[in-house]
Structure 1
């Protein structure tokens, strides 16, 4: 499992393991995304603006199954 702390406006950290991407927002909300390919995670980490990439490529992508975690 990879845990990466983020320096972004909205995202606190991300966890990644076996095509499951967990995004923890600074508001405390957590979402799990079932990704289709591992390259999406690498593109997310390498992107210059992670907030924009998250909104446009992950959150808005209807192919990725999104589950909210309450805790």
Structure 2
């Protein structure tokens, strides 16, 4: 069912973010851990953030992404 709802990159990113929802990740860390391309991960992070599933927090010059605890997932 997940294949019908989410792209492979989204599944990998969501698995990392919601699997460790108590911490945030920076984009290059997610790119490395998912084994997906940089553009694909960046695009999915933008989509997930705009849908409210993921939050973005700027720390210094880096954006940190974290699962939104208020999301329905």
TM-score by structure 2 length?
0.28
Structure with the larger helix share: 2
Structure with the larger strand share: 1
TM-score by structure 1 length?
0.28
